[in-house]
Amino acid sequence: MLKTLQIELVHPKAERILKELAAVDLIRIGKRESFRARLDRLSQSIEQHQKKHGNPEPLSREEITKEVKKVRAERYAKRKSSL
């Protein structure tokens, strides 16, 4: 069972302890990307897609669905390989 926690470190030793736990694969430490950063990345991706295909039109429902499935598959594979 995986749980995600947000932790505020109040002492420098806490970070060292967390890094030690990560080193022995008991926890994973990651930084969450802000909503704004994800939105910016998505906007850039859409612009690149449109430039690549020479299509100023918005993505179709099928294109969006295909991209969502691709991203989900990548995330699932990443999680599965890290277990």
Q: What pLDDT, in 10s, does the model give residues 51-82?
A: 887 776 776 778 878 888 999 999 888 888 87
* CA–CA distance, 67 with 82 (Å, rounded to integer): 23
**7-55 per-position pLDDT tens digit:** 899 999 999 999 999 999 999 988 777 888 888 888 788 888 778 877 7
61 half-sphere exposure, CB direction, 13 A CA radius: 0
Give ∠ CA 39-44-46 in degrees, rounded to 5.
Answer: 95
> pTM of the prediction?
0.41
pLDDT of residue 50: 78
CA 65 – CA 73 distance, rounded (Å): 12
> What pLDDT sits at residue 56?
67
